[in-house]
């Protein structure tokens, strides 16, 4: 990937990183309600994969969805207002952190719950012969949900244009994957006859290349594909629940997907991306603070 191609993708990752850091800070200040799941450290998956789909494709995300939304829509103001529960939020302030909907983008907090929905949308697009595909993001901890395997079966049997993206961050909340998942994540889907690929989810260029091939295959063949991207969550599961050893986190920071891009993006471009992200997010927070909360009647 050339520096010119990388720069805007890097900038989007910086926007997501800055947004997520601000979300945790706002929680600590008591300005946010409920819960949230940030994607700190997983920005390359969101940006790398979603840079390869069109806005007509259908995208499903899960509880950890902010990065996917920002990668598609570049709308920190709408998302921040949504998290702050204001009417100016992208769902009028009633969806919150986990339940977003805009155009062909849907998210849901029930683990695995969106996977069959994505298959249904893929089936609809196949019937309508639109050439669109569906993409669904799921965590490795969600591979304990039986509905994922029912969906794999039907996606393969009915040849659905559905790209599964497993963000394998090594944890389900506080349980390490190694303690709860037998065998190979990739082989699980291969057993249903899906084509599969696996790669480094912290390497933006590698993610984009793998995703481009996977998207092209799903669109061309009208068949499902299972893409496993190995990554690591640099933040807590939700707000403060992080019990991982300090040495493990230190090692993980060495593989930070943003730090790894520093050698490939110019210093002025990095500085500009940070300044721009901070300004846009500060403006988003300021605007949300003065916006109204929804009323029960609305
Ligand atoms: C059906 C269901 N069970 C439990 C939960 C609570 N929960 C939310 S996220 C999570 C762990 C998810 O792990 P994974 O799928 O690996 O995604 P990650 O959080 O690592 O991104 C759990 C247990 C839930 N949201 N839905």
Q: pLDDT, tens digit, for every residue of 229-283? A: 999 999 999 998 898 999 999 999 999 999 999 889 999 999 999 999 999 999 9
- Which two structure tokens, joined as six digits, stand for 68? 């996917």
141 C-alpha to ligand 1 centroid (Å): 6
Give the span between the Cα atoms of 8 and 12, in whole angstroms. Answer: 6
Ligand 1 atom index nearest CA of 63: 9
194: nearest Cα among 228, 156, 138: 156
* % of the chain beyond a pLDDT of 70: 99
Residue 298 has pLDDT above 90, yes or no: no
Among 37, 38, 68, 111, name the best residue to mutate to test ligand 1's pocket (greatest count of ligand atoms within 8 A of Cβ).
Answer: 111
- Size (the chain), residues: 298
pLDDT digits (tens, 9 = 90+) for 40-77: 999 999 999 999 999 999 999 999 999 999 999 999 99
Whether the CB-CB separation of 167 and 42 falls below 8 Å is answered with: yes
Pocket test of ligand 1: the residue of 62, 143, 173, 233 to mutate, having most ligand atoms within 8 Å of its CB, is: 173
Q: What is the dihedral angle through the alpha carbons of 8, 12, 17, 19, rounded to the nearest 10 degrees?
A: 140
The pLDDT, as a whole number, for residue 296 is 83
Best of 172, 178, 231, 236 to mutate for ligand 1, by most ligand atoms within 8 A of CB?
172
pLDDT tens readout for residues 84-108: 999 999 999 999 999 999 999 999 9
Residue 1: the pLDDT is 84
pLDDT score at 271: 97
Report pTM: 0.98
What gap in Å lies between CA 103 and CA 91, rounded to an integer?
11
Q: pLDDT band for position 3 (50/70/90)?
A: confident
Q: Tell me, what's the pLDDT at 2?
A: 87
Which residue(s) pair with 107 in the sheet? 61
DSSP assignments along 158-222, one per residue: TT--EEEEEEE-SEETTEEHHHH--S-HHHHHHTTT-EEEEEETT-HHHHHHHHHHHHHHHHHHT
Q: Residue 297 C-alpha to ligand 1 middle, in angstroms?
A: 32
- The residue extents of the domains of the chain are 3-289
Name the 3-class secondary structure at 107: strand
Q: What are the tens digits of pLDDT across the range 105-133?
A: 999 999 999 999 999 999 999 999 999 99
Distance (Å) from CA 131 to ligand 1 centroid? 32
Question: What dihedral do alpha carbons 125, 131, 132, 137 form, nearest 10°?
Answer: 90
Which two structure tokens, joined as six digits, stand for 292? 């109204």
**How far apart are alpha carbons 50 and 52 in whole angstroms?**
5
* Cα 288 from chain centroid (whole Å): 23
36 CB neighbour count, 10 Å cutoff? 20
What's the pLDDT tens digit per position in 134-174?
999 999 999 999 999 999 999 999 999 999 999 999 999 99
* DSSP symbol at 295: P
Does 175 have pLDDT greater than 70?
Answer: yes
d(CA 121, CA 110): 18
CATH class, domain 3-289, is alpha beta
């Amino acid at each position: 990937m050339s520096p010119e191609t990388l720069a805007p993708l890097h900038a989007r990752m910086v926007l997501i990183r800055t947004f997520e850091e601000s979300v945790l800070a706002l929680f600590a200040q008591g300005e946010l309600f409920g819960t949230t799941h940030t994607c700190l450290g997983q920005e390359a998956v969101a940006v790398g994969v979603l840079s390869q789909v069109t806005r007509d494709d259908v995208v499903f995300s899960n509880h950890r969805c902010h990065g996917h939304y920002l990668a598609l829509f570049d709308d920190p103001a709408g998302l921040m207002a949504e998290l702050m529960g204001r009417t100016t939020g992208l769902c009028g302030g009633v969806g919150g952190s986990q339940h977003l909907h805009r155009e062909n983008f849907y998210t849901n907090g029930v683990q695995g719950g969106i996977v069959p929905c994505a298959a249904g949308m893929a089936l609809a697009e196949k019937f309508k012969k639109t050439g669109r595909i569906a993409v669904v993001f799921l965590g490795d901890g969600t591979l304990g949900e039986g509905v994922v395997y029912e969906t794999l079966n039907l996606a393969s049997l009915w040849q659905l244009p559905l790209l599964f993206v497993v963000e394998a961050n090594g944890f389900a909340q506080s349980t390490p994957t190694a303690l709860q998942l037998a065998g190979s994540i990739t082989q699980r889907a291969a057993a249903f006859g899906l084509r599969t690929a696996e790669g480094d989810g912290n390497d933006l260029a590698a993610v984009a290349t793998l995703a481009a091939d996977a998207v092209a295959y799903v669109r061309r063949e009208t068949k499902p594909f299972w893409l496993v991207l190995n990554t690591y969550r640099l933040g807590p599961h939700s707000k403060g629940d992080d019990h991982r050893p300090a040495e493990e986190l230190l090692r993980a920071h060495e593989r930070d997907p943003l730090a790894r891009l520093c050698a490939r993006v110019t210093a002025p471009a990095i500085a500009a991306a940070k300044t721009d992200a901070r300004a846009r997010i500060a403006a988003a927070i300021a605007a949300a603070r003065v916006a109204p909360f929804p009323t029960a009647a609305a």
